[in-house]
Structures are given as structure tokens and as C-alpha cells.
Amino acid sequence: MQDSTRSSSSRRCWMRWLNEADEVSMNHRKIEGNEQSIFARLMGYAKPYMSSLILATVFMLITTALELYAPIVLGDAIDSFTEGAEFPQILNLGLIYLSALVGMFAFYVGQMWLLGKMGQDIVYNMRAEVFAHIHSMHLGFFDVTPIGRLVTRVTNDVEALSEMFSGILVRLVKNAVKIAGLAVVMLVMNYKLALRAFILIPLIVILTFMFKRISRTCYRITRTKLTAINTYLSEHISGMKIIRIFDREHEKNQEFKARSMDLFKANFREVMVFGIFRPSIYLLSIIALINIIWGGSELVFAENSVAGTGITVGVLYVFIQYVSQFFEPIQDLAEQIGTLQQAFASAEKIFMILDEEPAIVNKTEADKTENTSGGILGRIEFDHVWFAYNGEDWILKDVSFVIEPGEKVAFVGATGAGKTTILSLVGRYYEVNKGRILVDGRDIRDMNTDELRRAIGQVQQDVFIFTGDIAGNIRLGNSEITDEEMKKAAQTANADSFIEKLEHKYAEAVSERGSTLSAGERQLLSFARTLAFDPKILVMDEATANIDTETESLITEALERLMSGRTTIMVAHRLSTIQHCDCIMVMHKGRLREKGTHQELLAADGIYKKLYELQKAAG
Amino acid sequence: MLWKYVKKYRRQYICGILILFAVDMLSVYIPQFTGEVTDGLTTSGFTSSDVGRLILLIFLCGLGMAVGRFGWRWFLFVTARKIEREMRDEMFEHLTGMTQDFYNKNKTGDLMAHFTNDIASLRVAIGPAVISSFDAIVMTVLVLTKMILYINLKITVIACIPMLVILAGALYYCNVAEKYYTDKNNAFSDLSDRVQESFSGVRVIKAFVQEKHEMEEFDKVNSKNRKMAMRVVKLNMVFGPGIELIIGICRAITIIYGGWQMIEGQLSLAQFIAFNQYIGMLVWPMIAVGDSINAFSQGRAAYGRIRKIMDEKPEIEDTGKDNDITSLEGEIDIRNVSFSYVPEYGNVLDDISVHIDKGSTLAIIGKTGCGKTTIANLLVRLYETTNGTISFDGHDIKEIPMDTLRTEIAYVPQDNFLFSDTVQSNIAFGVRKWMEIPEEKFSLAKFRGKETIIAEIMDENLKKRAEQVDKAYGDLEQVEEAAKTACVHDNIIEFPNKYATIVGERGVTMSGGQKQRTSIARAIMKKAPILILDDALSAVDTDTEEKILENLKTDRKGKTTIIIAHRITTIQNADKIMVIDDGKVAELGSHDELMKLGGIYARLYEKQQLEKMLDEMAE
């Protein structure tokens, strides 16, 4: 009846099913033969805990020995009853039995604690490793890999390994030892009866493994059906408007019923498989019992007539106990092999991520040491830069320009002209395909990326708000920024005006999804964030979102303060900002087409003039 | 709601419980017979035929139990699954009946949780938990009776005192375990959220060189997760072996006290052996009681949540369902219509009036968020007007049966929602009536444990079934015709399976423009007297747009069409153009009239002309 409640496992949210179903189809290319190397690599994680592992195995062996010994004490007790023993002798046996049990309890607890701790430590370490590794990847990696999949690697896939380390490994050994131990003890006690007991073993093994196979297949099918119905549900709940508009409620109800029936059938099959298997195994255990009683009683009869030719009733009793113990480890073994396979599948996916090399790395050891003393002045040069996100789809075509320290440059152009890409390339989030980018005369590929990025302040168009409070979102967890500095940054960025109006001021809780901040407020917050880090170079993607006029003037004012004394590269949309720039670069279809001040460009009567008129018309 | 199902399946419940009872009755006999054998063997005059008789009895008991165990699984587990399925269907039907407000209030994820977690908890409560609790009570009573009657009261009382500790322990454990597991799951979802956010904000993290800080933050949730997991490990580590220890104590008491009783002559050896086995049989009921109490309380909470959803009434009633209006001509009158989604936020539409003649075309244009889509939503009665009336052919919208209204209006919504089905099914969506499609049969033998293959086979089945559906309806010609009108036919025949290609994740991912045109084809296929295109050509290039508009002109001859758009080129040929600004009718008239007016429309036209010029400029 132990299979009856599996409530807690069903609590996992449906998203995970969807995720995993997706993984199944992803993993067709799984290589069958490398299980050994995966195992070896997994064991590498257990190396630091070798002493725990060995100690736990010793504990396990002791518990197993005691487990085998306990029924013998009972058998002795029975024999001593038939021999008419005195009470002290019985008391003695009872106490021996009790101390064996206490010993078993203590060692078992010790073993579980050691292994549980080891398992959780390994999970903890692996998580940190996978998380750090993913963060070391370049931006292009995040562009092509769905975030959900990465999250699954760090969370569920690693979780699947915990069971392997804290349970399966040692239990596998334990069950093997237990089966062997039982066999040896039985053979020593009476080889004839032992051999008789072994007759059924092949049958148990075959039945168990056959069942495991079928039940796992059934389970998979059920899960796929469940995924199907969950996908159907989430799709149709989102698409309910369409269903209503097209008056298809009746049709969809029928369709759902058909799917629901499908799932029911899969569930039904599963119930039936268990319903047939469990009683069959039970019946088999009864047959095993009968087998032992039958053979055993013959031997007892023999012993009764000629001493030394058979067994005592006590021995028979021990055998009866042992026979029922044979079933458990065999069924466990089948279960554990299954879990092990799942763990391997997860491990393979994790290792696949870990084996992925980050495309942007610091070149040599020497460059990894940060050169903070000199600092970056902020001269930026693009030297015949070509860039494509993939293949030959050039986003930038042969772009060259120089920006002197302290200069303010605006990039303008239609959507898709390559403006935003230029901003990403300056911080080396992507590698250029041809040409080079120089900061203060040094190729950025020869610089330490941390040093480079620290010198560049990014004001993003889409401000990402982390869960936490306002203060945390300004200093981004950098503890070197004091409260004063943080508040000063907010004041300079004109963000304090709205922050002061919040109920908890700087401690107001915010998050990406539950954010109540307006687009303008987010922009101001982003200014404050950048100011707090005091960069030499300012890289800015101006927000295009609708901003009310009051905030607009706050932004313009803050922007001026932000830009003063810094080399500024911006993608500009507002006429007001463009006109204040030292130089305007006009991008058109991946090329730098025009360059000059606002007045010069207007006089040239080219693309810029058109853009300018368009802005005016829209404004 | 639940009661109804229990009543419907009361026979199954009664049968199941009776079988359960019988199995429990039988199970007590096996230790008794085993005891009799060992007991008999110590007495003289016990022959092998006596052994044979007892063995036969044991076998019969075992067989009866095996059959019975299958029986109660059949009656109770299957019934619980059936109820689960019927409730699922009922819930889905309820959902299709709900109106838009309901979906604005309830998030998809929450609704999904009712279908997955809540129904599962409920199923456990009405199936396995019923079995566990009945079984536990019956077993306890039976075993105790046996112990008292067949053996003796004194030893029963003394040996069973520790059992109460198990019962108390199980109750305590289930309570604490629930909390610990919840804490653990919460820690795990905190971890997932943290990882999700960290990977989503990777651009900010890289820009501000905060990788180290991220590691530190991650370490906090990672450690918390480890701590919570360890709490569960520690709990199980004490509880599992603890039970064994207590059973051991019971056994030790039996040895000592039973031994004393045997010396005193109050207990026979057979009784002693049987008693030992009975003790083993009491363990499971003690745990089961704690477990099922838990399952019942969870089931009750889940049922409460489901009830809350099921008790909600749709906000828009089909007030006209009894009227005999089966078709619409296409004349629409909107008079003084105002609308607000939430009264506090003010009106989205304010006093809109327009008359659309049968067979004419009305265009609606205006800024994003000005209320254009709301007009369309009101026309298909997804919402009720706050003030004013909408009438078709002189009938108030409230007097028209909902299915007539929605059959007679074809609507192309802004979000181009397509279902994961074949292209053909998607286009024919609004036309097909429900038809029974036989289910694809697949045998278990095919899979033979190769789990990765299952997903492939299921995918293959999905495709086959979808093709079967399309074939059964035989509407390919009409579908093609609609697709040609919507200019998507040429794209579709390039898909791997043409019209039988599955749309979405499991098949072809369509581009925004293709989706939009498919969505148009879906509406055209309805051949309805009224067609609403809500910004339905935004992702289509200008040449194709022109072609579609041309096709529509012939297809929609004599029928009413409403086009909502941003681009002037889309609408300039409409009979009437309505410019909406801030929820009000700002301008109304033909293209020429509005151009002459020199207002919003004329400015928009000028801007779009400039954009076009810029776009046409050479590289």
C-alpha cells in the first residue's frame, strides 16, 4: 500500500512539466556510451567528501550486519523457549536484541546524516559552479539560449543529482551487500533450505525489472499526456478570447474532453500496471513463504527423528524472516537503477553547459590584473568595424570614427540602422568581425573586460529593475557605494524628487514585474544608477517611451549634469538632446553616412534633414 | 459539487471498501497459520499432511488477498481517477463560459494551478486517503482483537504502548513535514526566481561589472536552500529509523515479557511467533492515520479553492438567447457609446456615435491606447457598454443571441493568436462543428523502455491525428481559397507539410506577418456579413498589403467591413474614416474631406509620406 500516496511530488508547478517535455525532445542526440565518463566526472564532485563517504559506507555495513543479526536473536529466543530456558537467559536475549536495535538506529542515523550533508554540499557547490559559469558567458550566448532552460540547469537538473549522492550510491552498495549477506548467512545455516529459497529469486528479479520497465514507460506516457493537456490548457486559457469571438465554446469543450479522456486512459493504465504487479509480487512472496515452510518442515521432521540431519524450529523461523527480506532489496535495486539513469541524464545536460566556452575572455594572464591606477581617459576609436550577429547579415558595415575624451556624440538614424549595436560593441559585449575598436589607443580585446566595463557607464533604454528596494537598485549591491554617495547620485539625477514621494523612500520595495514606476521614473533611476558608479565614458540609449512633460524637463536637466566631463556616446531621439551634441553621426542601413554638428548637417540637406523634419512632424 | 460525484460512484466506493475489509480480515490469518506450523512442529504427532493443510490455507489466503488487492485498486483508484477527469471537464466547461473580466482578474498560472495541483490534492483525498484511513482503522481493530482474543490482553497492552508513540510521532511528523517541505519548496522557488532574475538582468550585471556581487547574492539563496533541504534530511533521518527502533522495542518487550509469560505457561510458542508478526502489522496503520489526516486537510483546502472559481458567474449574460434572430444584414449603429474598464480610471471611450451602412467600409485610426480596440471588443460584446447603445439592423446588441452575433461577425484581433494545430485547422477554426475523431491507438510494446523514443512517437501521433482531423472535415479547398485571399497561400505551400503543418513550438514557427495573414484567412473563411480587422496589416509589407486590400474589395463586396489601422495607406479608400483621439471622435469623413480639414489626419498623412521617402532612399 506504500504506493498509495505520492501527493508531495505532484506539487511541482506545471511549468516544470512543460519545460521538461521540451527537454525530452531536445535530447535526442544523447550518446548512449558515455555513461561511464559521466559517472567518473560526477564522482569527481564527491572527492572532497571521500572521508564522509567511506565512514558512511562503514556505518552502512554495520547496520546491515545488525539487520541480519537481529532475526537470529529472535530465532535463538524461540529455540531457548522450546528447550525450557530460564527467565534470566531470556532477559539476556531480549537485551541483546534491544542493544542491536539501538546500535542499528544510531549507525543508520549517522549514515543518513553524513550522506545527506554530503549530497547537499555537492548540490550547493555544483549550483554555484553552474551559476558562475553561465554568468561568465558572453551576451550572444544569452541571445540564443532561452533563459528558462538555463534556469532549469541551475535548479532542477542539479536537484536531481542530490538524490543520487545522498541516497542511491550507498543504498546500491547496501542492497547488493544485503542480498549477498542474506545468501551467505542462509547458506551457512542450512545450504539445502537456502538453495530451495533461491529458486524463486530469478522469478522475482525478472518480474521486478519487467515491471519497472513497463511502469516507467507508462509513467512517461502519462507525463507526456499531462504535458499535452497542460499545454492545451495554458494555450486555451490565453486564447479564450478568440474562442469566444469565434463562438467555439462547444467545440473546445468537446476537444478538451477528448484530451481529458486520453489522460484518464493513461492514468488508468498506470493504475492497472500497479494493480497487477503489486498483488503478483505479494503472491510471489506468499509462494516463497510456502516454499520455505514446506521444505523447512521436512527438515524439522528429519531433525526430530535423527538429530543433526535437519534444522531446528528456530532456524526455520529465521529462514521465514529472511525470505521476506529478500524481496525488498531486489525491488529497491530496480528503483535505484532508474533514479541513477535520470541523474545521469541531468548530469549530461549540466556538463553540456559547463563545457560551453565563453567566447569573450581576457586574453592573457597579465591582462587579467586590473589596471585601476592609470584610469581610462575616454578616447574611443572605431577602425573599419564590420559586425554581424550571425553569418553575413551585416549590421555594421565598415564603420570608422574617433571620439575625443569629453566629447559628446549622438548617433541618429532610422530603426535598424545599427545605432544600438555600436553601443554594445564599445563595452565588448560582442566581438567585432572585422576591424578593431580602440579605447585610449588600446584594442579593447587586449584590455581586461572588467576594467573596460567599469569605465563605461551604461544608461539602458529598457531599465531592468531587480527585486529589492530603490537604494539597492541604484547601488546594485556594490557595498563600496555609501548611502551618501547613493543619495547624492539620486539627487544629481533628479530622481530624488519622486523617490522622496514614495512611502518608504529609498527603502521602497520594487521588482521587475510588480513595478509601479513610470517609464520616466525608471529612466531617472537608471541615471542615478549610472552616476553612482561614476564612469569616465557614458553610453546611452535614450528611451523612446512616452514621458510626461514634467518628467521630461527633469530628464533633460539630469542628462546635462550626467554628461558633463564625460565622453558621451548616445543614441538620441529627442531634438533637444541632439542639438547639444558636439557631433552628430547619421547611420543609415549599417553605414555611417553623415557626420557634423546640427547646423552643418541641416545645411547639407541629406538624410539628417529628412529625419529632422520627420521628428518635427511627429512632435 | 464533490458530493454529486461521490453519490454517482457510491456503488464503487461501497464495493471497494468491502473488499478492503475482506483483504484485511484475510491478512491476519497468514501469521496465525505460520505460527501454527512452527508451533505444531515442536509438538509430536504433527505430520507432513498437517503442514500441507496449513500451507494450502496460507496459499488460499494469499491468493484471496492478491485478488482483493487488485479489486480495491480497481474500484477505488479508478473511481478517483474518473471523478478527477469529470471534474476537470466540468472546470474547463466553466472556464469557456466565463467572460473577459474573469480572465483579467485571474492569472493563467493561477487557473492552471487549479487544474494541476488542486485537482491532484483532491484526488488523493477521495482515493488513496480513503483507502489508507479505512485500511488503518480496520487493520488496527482487527489486529488488536486478534492479539487480545488469540493471545492475551496483558502482553498486548504492554507491547503496544510504544505503538502509541508511533501514532503520535506520525501525527507530529506529518504536521512538521508539511511545514518543512513547504519551506523547502519555497526556498527552492526563491532560488529559481533569483536565478531567473539574475539571468534576465545579465546585461545590467555585465554593464556594471557586478558578477561578483551576483555570486554573493546567489550564495545566500543557495545556502538557504541547502539549509532547508538539510532540515528535511534531518527530519527523515530521525523519523524513519525511529519507527524501526520503536518496533524493535515492542519486539524486545515481547521477547522479555512474552518469555516470562511462556515460562509461567500463559503463552504458547505459536502465540509468541504470531504475536511478533502482528506487531509488524500494526506499524503501517499508525503511519497511515497520520498521513491520511494530512491528505484530507489538503484536499479540503484544494476543494475550497476550486469551489471559489466554480461559483463565479459570467458577467455578461446571453440576454438575447431566446430571440429568433439567426442572421445579420450588416448595418451597424453606434450611438453615444461611452465605456470604462474600471470606473475610477475614467472613460476609455467617450460619447462615440457613428452609423455604418450595410456593405460599406469604416476605418478607425488614432494613437495607441486611444480606444480603437475597445470599439471592436464592444461590437462582439466581450464587454458591455457603460452608456449608449450599439445596434445591428435596428436590434439592440443585447437582444441578439450571442452565438448569432459571433457567427455573423468575423474578427481579426490584434494579437493574431493561433492554436498549436495544423494550418488548415487554424484557418477553418470558425467554421468547423465538433466531430468525433477516433483516437490513435498505440501499443506499449513499441516503446520497450526506450524513453526518448516516446516523445517522438507522441509527436508523430499528434501530427497523424491532426491530419486525420483535417481529412475528416474535407474543407481544404475552402481553406485554400481563404488563404489565397489573405495572400498567405504561397507561404503555406512552402511549409514542410503544407496545410497539414503544425503551427507553433512543435511545428513551424511563423513570422509575425504570416501569423497575421493566417489570422485574416481564418476570419475570411467565415464569410460573415461583418468583418473587423483590428490593426491586422501592421506586420505585412506595403505591396502585400495592397494586394490583400484589393482581394478584400472583391471578397467583401456588399458586406460590411471595419478596419482599424495605423497606416494611412491601409485605410484611405474607406467609405468613412473615423479619427479617435483620447476616446473621442476627433474627425469623421472620407479621405479627401479629412485632408481638406487639415487636422490630426492630415498631419499623420504628411508624416507617413516623409517616412516613406526616407525608406526609399538608397544605401
Query: What is the CATH classification number for the domain harbouring A580?
Result: 3.40.50.300
**Cβ-nearest to B120 among A10, A70, A224:** A10
pLDDT at B237 over 50: yes
Lowest mean pLDDT among B238-242, B353-357, B358-362: B238-242
pLDDT of residue A106: 92
Most confident of A83-97, A141-155, B378-392, B444-458: B378-392
CATH of the domain at B394: 3.40.50.300
| End position of a domain, from candidates B482, B508, B534 | B508
- Give the span between the Cα atoms of A528 and A526, in whole angstroms: 5
pLDDT of residue B447: 56
**Cβ-nearest to A105 among B205, B245, B451:** B245
The tens digit of pLDDT for each residue in A483-497 reads 888 888 888 888 888
Is A466–B181 a contact, with Cβ atoms under 8 angstroms apart? no
Lowest mean pLDDT among A522-526, B245-249, B559-563, B615-619: B615-619
Substitution target in A1, A216, A368, A464 with the highest count of B β-carbons within 10 Å is A1
Helix, strand, coil shares of chain A, percent, nearest 5, are: 70, 10, 20
A187 touches chain B (CB under 8 A): no
**Cβ-nearest to A286 among B59, B93, B429:** B59
Instruction: Indicate if A154 and A221 belong to the same structural domain.
Output: no
Substitution target in B38, B297, B505, B562 with the highest count of A β-carbons within 10 Å is B38
Is A105–B89 a contact, with Cβ atoms under 8 angstroms apart? no
Q: Is there a domain that residue B225 lies in?
A: no
Q: Is there a domain that residue A366 lies in?
A: no
Distance of CA B462 to the CA centre of its chain: 19
Q: Which residues of A touch B316 (CB under 8 A)?
A: none
Instruction: Indicate if A224 and A185 belong to the same structural domain.
Output: no
Q: Is there a domain that residue B430 lies in?
A: yes
Instruction: Indicate if A417 and A404 belong to the same structural domain.
Output: yes
| End position of a domain, from candidates A326, A357, A388 | A357
Distance of CA A358 to the CA centre of its chain: 18
Instruction: Indicate if B568 and B459 belong to the same structural domain.
Output: no
Instruction: Indicate if B443 and B427 belong to the same structural domain.
Output: yes
What angle separates helix B600-616 from helix A607-618, to the nearest 10 degrees?
160
Contact (CB, 8 A) for A292 and A197 = yes
| Statement: the pTM of the whole predicted model exceeds 0.90 | no
- Give the span between the Cα atoms of B427 and B475, in whole angstroms: 10
Query: What is the number of CB-based contacts under 8 A between chain A and chain B?
Result: 450
CA nearest A231 in B: which residue? B420
CA nearest A139 in B: which residue? B203
pLDDT at B437 over 80: no
Three-state secondary-structure class, residue A595? strand
Most confident of A224-238, A403-417, B523-537, B540-554: B523-537
Per-window interface: A 344-363 vs B, CB < 8 A: none
| End position of a domain, from candidates B508, B528, B553 | B508
pLDDT of residue A550: 66
Lowest mean pLDDT among A228-232, A513-517, B143-147, B568-572: A513-517
| Average confidence score pLDDT of chain A | 78
pLDDT of residue B67: 92
pLDDT at B448 over 80: no
pLDDT band, residue A2 (cuts 50/70/90): very low
pLDDT at A30 over 50: no
Distance of residue A13 Cα from the nearest chain B Cα, in angstroms: 7
- Give the span between the Cα atoms of B503 and B486, in whole angstroms: 17
pLDDT of residue B609: 77
Three-state secondary-structure class, residue A469? strand
Instruction: Indicate if B446 and B572 belong to the same structural domain.
Output: no
Q: Is there a domain that residue B245 lies in?
A: no
The tens digit of pLDDT for each residue in B137-193 reads 888 888 888 888 887 888 888 888 887 887 788 778 777 877 888 888 788 878 888
Is A478–B210 a contact, with Cβ atoms under 8 angstroms apart? yes
Contact (CB, 8 A) for A13 and B447 = no
Per-window interface: A 217-276 vs B, CB < 8 A: 217-218, 220-221, 224, 228, 230-231, 233-258, 260-264, 267-269, 271, 274-276
Q: Is there a domain that residue A295 lies in?
A: yes
Q: Which residues of B touch A450 (CB under 8 A)?
A: 209
- Give the count of domains, chain B: 2
Instruction: Indicate if B439 and B366 belong to the same structural domain.
Output: no
Is B96–A240 a contact, with Cβ atoms under 8 angstroms apart? yes
Burial (0-12, 13-18, 19+ Cβ within 10 Å), A173:
middle
pLDDT band, residue A9 (cuts 50/70/90): very low
pLDDT of residue A8: 31
Instruction: Indicate if A265 and A144 belong to the same structural domain.
Output: no
Q: Is there a domain that residue B68 lies in?
A: no
Contact (CB, 8 A) for A425 and A387 = yes
Residues in contact with B489: Cβ distance below 8 Å, sequence separation at least 6, in sequence order: B480, B483
pLDDT at B62 over 70: yes
**Cβ-nearest to A610 among B74, B417, B614:** B614
pLDDT band, residue B329 (cuts 50/70/90): confident
A83 touches chain B (CB under 8 A): no
A77-111 core/surface letters (b: 16 or more CB in 10 A; e: else) = bbbbbeeebeeeebebbbebbbebbebbbebbbbb
Q: How many of the other CB atoms lie within 10 Å of CB of B34? A: 23
Q: Average pLDDT for residues A4-8, to the nearest whole number?
A: 31
- Give the span between the Cα atoms of B105 and B118, in whole angstroms: 19
Instruction: Indicate if B429 and B503 belong to the same structural domain.
Output: yes
- Give the span between the Cα atoms of A74 and B571, in whole angstroms: 94
pLDDT of residue A616: 65
- Give the span between the Cα atoms of B380 and B376, in whole angstroms: 7
- Give the span between the Cα atoms of B10 and A5, in whole angstroms: 22
pLDDT at A29 over 50: no
Lowest mean pLDDT among A298-312, A455-469, B448-462, B478-492: B448-462
Distance of residue A360 Cα from the nearest chain B Cα, in angstroms: 12
User: Quick one: which of B307, B187, B240, B181 has its CA closest to A11?
Assistant: B181
pLDDT band, residue A12 (cuts 50/70/90): very low
Residues in contact with B7: Cβ distance below 8 Å, sequence separation at least 6, in sequence order: none
Instruction: Indicate if A613 and A554 belong to the same structural domain.
Output: yes
Q: Which residues of B touch A618 (CB under 8 A)?
A: 607
| End position of a domain, from candidates A330, A357, A384 | A357
Structural domain that includes position A495: 376-618
Q: Average pLDDT for residues B281-301, to the nearest whole number?
A: 78
Q: Which residues of A touch B505 (CB under 8 A)?
A: 22
Check if the interface score ipTM surpasses 0.90.
no
Q: Which residues of B touch A454 (CB under 8 A)?
A: 209
Is B124–A166 a contact, with Cβ atoms under 8 angstroms apart? no
Instruction: Indicate if B528 and B605 belong to the same structural domain.
Output: yes
CA nearest B69 in A: which residue? A279
pLDDT band, residue B336 (cuts 50/70/90): confident
Measured CA distances, B55 to A299, B41, B62, B273, B353 (Å):
16, 13, 10, 17, 92
Q: Which residues of B touch A535 (CB under 8 A)?
A: none
CATH of the domain at A174: 1.20.1560.10
- Give the span between the Cα atoms of B258 and B276, in whole angstroms: 10
**Cβ-nearest to A1 among B97, B135, B238:** B135
Query: Measured on CA atoms in the order A237, A241, A244, A248, is the torsion positive or negative?
Result: negative
Distance of residue B247 Cα from the nearest chain A Cα, in angstroms: 9
Location of C-alpha cell 563545457:
A355
Which amino acid is residue B126, in one-letter code? I
Q: Is there a domain that residue A337 lies in?
A: no
Which amino acid is residue B415, in one-letter code? D
Q: Is there a domain that residue B126 lies in?
A: no
Q: Which residues of A touch B530 (CB under 8 A)?
A: none
Instruction: Indicate if A224 and A351 belong to the same structural domain.
Output: no
More confident residue, B531 or A32: B531
**Cβ-nearest to A233 among B81, B115, B456:** B115
CA angle A554, A556, A560 (to 5 degrees): 115
Instruction: Indicate if B524 and B617 belong to the same structural domain.
Output: yes
pLDDT of residue A141: 83
Q: Is there a domain that residue B528 lies in?
A: yes
Contact (CB, 8 A) for B390 and B486 = no
**The CA-based dihedral angle spanning residues B551, B552, B557, B562, taken in that order and rounded to the nearest 10 degrees:** -170
Instruction: Indicate if B431 and B393 belong to the same structural domain.
Output: no
- Give the span between the Cα atoms of B316 and A257, in whole angstroms: 25
Cell of B225: 536552500
Which amino acid is residue B364, in one-letter code? I
A613 touches chain B (CB under 8 A): yes
Instruction: Indicate if B345 and B431 belong to the same structural domain.
Output: no
**Cβ-nearest to B413 among A108, A241, A477:** A241
Most confident of A368-377, A517-526, A610-619, B480-489: B480-489
Distance of residue B334 Cα from the nearest chain A Cα, in angstroms: 19
Instruction: Indicate if A214 and A185 belong to the same structural domain.
Output: no
Cell of B436: 468525433
**Cβ-nearest to A476 among B62, B97, B208:** B208
| End position of a domain, from candidates B489, B508, B527 | B508
- Give the span between the Cα atoms of A96 and A98, in whole angstroms: 5
Is B256–A90 a contact, with Cβ atoms under 8 angstroms apart? yes
Distance of residue B180 Cα from the nearest chain A Cα, in angstroms: 12
Three-state secondary-structure class, residue A500? helix
Structural domain that includes position B473: 419-508
- Give the span between the Cα atoms of A169 and A171, in whole angstroms: 6
Contact (CB, 8 A) for B430 and B410 = yes
pLDDT at A32 over 50: no
Instruction: Indicate if B501 and B548 belong to the same structural domain.
Output: no
- Give the count of domains, chain A: 3
Q: Is there a domain that residue B558 lies in?
A: yes
pLDDT of residue A4: 32
Distance of CA B21 to the CA centre of its chain: 36
Location of C-alpha cell 538582468:
B201
Q: Is there a domain that residue A316 lies in?
A: no
Instruction: Indicate if A142 and A196 belong to the same structural domain.
Output: no
Q: Average pLDDT for residues B282-305, to the nearest whole number?
A: 79
Q: Which residues of B touch A218 (CB under 8 A)?
A: 444
* Paired residues of B589 in beta bridges: B577
Location of C-alpha cell 504536521:
B175
Instruction: Indicate if B355 and B337 belong to the same structural domain.
Output: yes
Q: Average pLDDT for residues A107-134, to the nearest whole number?
A: 90
Instruction: Indicate if B614 and B489 belong to the same structural domain.
Output: no
pLDDT band, residue A296 (cuts 50/70/90): confident
pLDDT at B522 over 50: yes
Q: Is there a domain that residue B532 lies in?
A: yes
| DSSP assigned state of B73 | I
pLDDT of residue A24: 35
Instruction: Indicate if A174 and A253 belong to the same structural domain.
Output: no
Instruction: Indicate if A391 and A416 belong to the same structural domain.
Output: yes
- Give the span between the Cα atoms of B567 and B611, in whole angstroms: 11
Distance of residue B612 Cα from the nearest chain A Cα, in angstroms: 10
Instruction: Indicate if A103 and A203 belong to the same structural domain.
Output: no
CA angle B94, B96, B97 (to 5 degrees): 65
Instruction: Indicate if A176 and A231 belong to the same structural domain.
Output: no
The tens digit of pLDDT for each residue in B76-128 reads 889 989 998 998 888 888 888 888 778 877 777 778 777 877 888 888 888 88
**Cβ-nearest to A117 among B181, B230, B288:** B230
User: Quick one: which of A452, A465, A459 has its CA closest to A509?
Assistant: A465
Q: Is there a domain that residue A583 lies in?
A: yes
